[in-house]
Chains A and B, each alone.
Chain A
Amino acid sequence: MTRNLRIPGIVRGSRIQFFFNGREITAFKGETVLAALMAAGIKTLGVDPHGKGRGALCGMGVCYQCRVSIDGRPGRRACMAQVRAGMVIETEKDLP
């Protein structure tokens, strides 16, 4: 990423680390998984049955397009889940 996508001048929670597809990513306590991933420049959250990427749409828990596997639990909405230290997040391949 060329630039930090976190808006400067905001008091945030404590710094934590989590994993996305094996890659270690820094986030702040209190952020949603979606916010933490978007801030790291990650937009592709899953793979559709045709092999195409799938990303967040509504950002408010309605469309279920941002689902990811969190700590082995499939189908969690990234926009509604809060990021936690050590969380293991993985993209899912959708069933045909």
Chain B
Amino acid sequence: MKKNGLPRLVVLAVILGVSGFAVLGYNAFRKDVLAMQAASQEDITWTSFQLEQELGRFRDALNQFQIDGTGVDASTVNTRFDILWSRIAVFQQGRVGERLAQYDRETLIVPRLFSQMKSVDRRIVNLQDTAKADAALLVLEFAPYADELREFSRFVTLGEETRGREIREQLQAGVNRTLLLGGLAIAIALFSLAYINRESMRFRRLAAANRKLADVAEKASRAKSQFLTMMSHELRTPMNGVLGLLALSKQGAVQKNQLHLIEQAEQSGRQMVGLLADILDFSALHSDELHLENKPFELTHLAHAVREQFTPLAKREGISFDVTVNQNCPPRYQGDFRRLRQAFSHLAQYVVETAGVRDAEMEFSCNNSALVVKLSFDYLSHGGEWTPDLILGGDRRDDRAFASDALGPAIARGFIEAMNGTLLVDNPVGERIQVIARIPIEEFVVTALGVAVITSSEAMAAICRAALSTSDIDFLQKDDPTEAHIVLVEAGNITEGNFLVRARENHPNALIVGLGTPINPDAFDFSVKLPLDFHELREIVALRTA
């Protein structure tokens, strides 16, 4: 930076200096032009000559007045005297008078002539046609002024010529100065252009180098992300296998204490699968590869799912957690049920784990085509480290952003923002804080429901048909290519994965309902435990039908 500081200052100083010279030069040039204009507007040479001329005419009139038969009488002499008087008047006013008076400051011929005229004024006015001798006397009295006025006219003429020459010389000098400054300005402009061009090339090189570095960093980041995604996938597959085997082992004859151990192992496994899912989601959010689903769901089911997912933690922490749904909301919406459930669960979990809450409430409501979820909790009940920045996604970029408890809120915020939603923390009222999520969402209106059943057992399919026989439902045949609204999939055994793949492939937008206890609950929208609870199954379908 130091290297470039000096030339910039020098260039700036030179430009300012030249600008100053240009202003001075312009002002001088302008003054010269104005002087030229003033000098050329009125020719005072002519005015001084007129005074000399009118004195001559007055004297001629006096001479002819003395000669009979010339037609010049006392009135004519008076008129000529008046005209001469009026020429004197020109010297008294205006710029013309001022300029003429400057030439007369040495000789004072005009004031002297005027003084003479005033002294003879009465004689002229009272001149009788017979007073020839008086006229002769007047001719003699005015005679000396004729030569002096001639000399004055010559002096004015010479003075004006000199003045004109000086102004022309000044103008020429002004033009020369302007040309010099213009040349200097062009030189500076060229120098500046060269300098700017050099700097521009330097910055372009710098930008190219930065781009390369950014590309390298981007590639490295993408590679890390891909590695993370791949590893998460790879870890999840064996984990599902472990969970499947654990589920199978429960079906055998096991001791109560063994069953407890298996359930604990299942819970840990599910937590591991959930964590892997979070890592995958986080990775997808950061690589802009998150694909949101747009499927119909019940708002009450969403509330129920959040409550179900959060209840174990709430129980463990001894927290009262209440979830309510505003009755004025439409029952069904279209959106990504799973991501919404995750987002709200993560929010609730973060609040409970960090804010030390004693009780929390989550209210689902709607407002102008938006789903509004308010999570309110009692802060400072048990202390705790409440950090709203992690929820709001502020500008903090310290190591806290990558702490273990930062993943949940980051995913929640990422999902909500991916759905064009907003997240804010309301001003605390007393010790109660409210986190508000507002997500634009579309209401879903049901027309007719098609249901597909994927099971290994025809008996199970028949039971399902029987359970839903009273509903207005069209059961699709095995090879029917129509996309179903609901797919009932046999869950909890080794075929679960294959059945799910088939369900997703043939019915990508359908609601997936597991029949039994799923090995991978996240893969299902709902599940109904075996033996099949008809009422529960009908409720799910009835809600969709309604």
- Are chains A and B native binding partners rather than an unrelated pairing? no
Mark A residues whose CB is within 8 Å of B.
none
